[in-house]
Amino acid sequence: MPTDRDTLLDRGVTALSDFAGRGTFTDKEIEKERGVVLESGAWGKAPASASRASSCRSCFTARATPIGCDRPTGDHRARLCRPLRAYYHEWYTPDRMTVVAVGDIDPAKMEGLIRDHFGGLQRPAAPRVTPVFGIPRTRRR
């Protein structure tokens, strides 16, 4: 991320801390992204995705997708928001993140930013076990 302006660096570290558990999801923010979510689901139904899906089947389960409905109906906000928030809080935790700072930056400044943005984050009391995905065997020809 750019380090020539303190505000850009701060925003970048803020984004990283959001990935580690500081993110917030208002219903309004999630609703704004609904089209993107639905579009990504439609993309997965394209004919070209069939081979991709079969090659990745051993890597992903239904739980790997935070939103499990094609077209929300009825109370679509609740159907979209609850699973997304649950997925985020289950998988986006500080114990699943490493921050590495490399480059032309004052080490004391970067350490301060990391402490400010990550210092209050806590590891979940009962963290989710990270699944281990092996490499699928292929048939030799």
Q: Model pTM? A: 0.59
- For residue 77, give the nearest of 43, 42, 39, 29 by alpha carbon: 29
CA dist 94 → 23, 27, 60, 103, 136 (Å): 12, 24, 22, 23, 29
Residue 68 is predicted with a pLDDT of: 43
CA–CA dist 92, 76 (Å, integer): 23
CA-based Rg of the chain, rounded to a whole angstrom?
Answer: 19
CA–CA dist 93, 79 (Å, integer): 23
The answer to whether the Cα torsion of 75, 86, 29, 49 is positive or negative is negative
Q: Where do we find the tokens 């790997």?
A: 64
Helix (H) or strand (E) holding 16: helix 6-17
Q: Where do we find the tokens 């009962």?
A: 126
What ranges do the domains of the chain cover? 1-23+93-141, 25-91
Residue 44 is predicted with a pLDDT of: 57
Residue 110 is predicted with a pLDDT of: 92
Residue 58 is predicted with a pLDDT of: 43
CA–CA dist 81, 34 (Å, integer): 10
CA–CA dist 24, 88 (Å, integer): 10
Residue 137 is predicted with a pLDDT of: 81
Residue 71 is predicted with a pLDDT of: 45
Residue stretches of the chain with pLDDT short of 70: 2-3, 37-38, 40-80, 141
Residue 55 is predicted with a pLDDT of: 47
Cα-based torsion angle of the residue sequence 58, 64, 70, 76 in order, rounded to the nearest 10 degrees: 170
Q: What pLDDT, in 10s, does the model give residues 35-70?
A: 776 676 655 555 555 555 554 444 444 444 444 444
